[in-house]
Amino acid sequence: MFDLLDRILAVQPAPPMSTVIATAVIAFVLVAWRRSWRWVRNAITIAHEGGHALVAVLCGRRLEGIRLHSDTSGLTFTRGRDRGPGMVLSLAAGYTAPSLLGAGGAALLATGRLTLLLWLGILLAVLMLVMIRNVYGVLSVLVTGGILFAVSWYADATWQAAFAYTGVWFLVFGGVRPVFEVQSQRRRGRAHWSDPDQLARLTPLSGGVWVTIFLLVGLGAIALTALLFGLIAATRDSSLFT
């Protein structure tokens, strides 16, 4: 057990700037390219629904289950007051969760806790698995958690760094694209029950304002991640010459 804790909490050196840039490019392509986005969007949906679930529980709502669908959509079922701050915060957590998770991951990588980041991802997958209520959702979370475990347990430090940095970039880039997608659906009148439209019915702010808030959170997470990763790589590269 102590050996496992030492392995999880070990501090690993930062990768070079070339790795940081390469992983950012890979993550951006995965999000921007339509064909790859169809396959990897499930990870963003897991983070989205996990955000709803976590904040709902923290706000005192009763979490009844989560469903993930093959079209990459998802639903989180909670019970409690249908109005009030708890409901608002729970709804607002979905579109902001991937971006905030990514920024939090970037902050953790800034301390060199790369393996810890991967194991926290495994823990979140296990906790979410308990609340999944359909077969496709169970398979999606199992595959995600399995990949995280395989990388954290079998990959060397170089591959772990490449995976972790790509994953964090993917979360912050992937947190923005769904915001544009839901706004596109709203313009076509096909998103009456979207998170921003539900929030508009619960608050004085319009759906468009909520979309703007989600977008600002996403862009802020990208900027923060880029700043942290840039400082990490610059510090590492400069230390090579001292």
Q: Please give the pLDDT value at position 13.
A: 82
């990490």: which residue's tokens? 232
Question: pLDDT digits over 159-180, tens only?
Answer: 999 999 999 999 999 999 999 9
Q: Please give the pLDDT value at position 9.
A: 79
Domain boundary assignment for the chain: 16-235
63 phi-psi bin (left φ>0, alpha ψ -120 to 50, beta other) = beta
3-state secondary structure of 191: coil
Supply angle C-alpha 132, 94, 146, rounded to 5.
Answer: 45
End-to-end Cα distance, the chain: 37
Q: Please give the pLDDT value at position 83.
A: 87
Q: Please give the pLDDT value at position 159.
A: 92
CB count within 10 Å of CB 197 equals: 20
Q: Nearest to residue 228, comparing CAs of 103, 131, 135?
A: 103
CB count within 10 Å of CB 139 equals: 14
* Radius of gyration, alpha carbons of the chain: 18
Q: Please give the pLDDT value at position 241.
A: 45
3-state secondary structure of 227: helix
Q: Please give the pLDDT value at position 178.
A: 97
- The contacts of residue 45 (CB under 8 Å, 6+ apart) are 68, 72, 73, 74
CB count within 10 Å of CB 199 equals: 22
Q: Is the pLDDT of residue 219 over 50?
A: yes
DSSP state, 62? E
